[in-house]
Amino acid sequence: MLIDDETAKKIAKLHEIKSIGSLKVLLLSFKSKFLIEDEVKKMLMEMIGKNFRVNSEVINRFWILFEKLKETN
C-alpha cells in the first residue's frame, strides 16, 4: 500500500498492512532502473511544487540514500 499520511501509516501498521511512501517508491524505481536520475529529480521537484508535505530532514535523508544508490547502480 502506498501512503504518505502518518495517520494512515499507523492504521496500516495496526492492521499489519505493509506500506511505503512516495519517496521510497522513487528510490525503488531508480534502483530497479525504471526511472533515470533526471526523472527522479523532476518528479520530486514536482511533488514539492504541488505541496507534497515533507520536512527538510526527510528530503536530506532521501538525497543521501539516492546518492548511495547512484554509486551502486
Mean of pLDDT values over 23-36: 96
Report in angstroms the alpha-carbon separations of 62 from 16, 39, 73: 25, 15, 16
Tell me what pLDDT residue 29 has: 97
What residue segments make up the domains of the chain, in order of their start?
Answer: 6-72
* Residue in 34, 37, 29, 46 with CA at minimum distance from that of residue 70: 37
pTM score, two decimals? 0.81
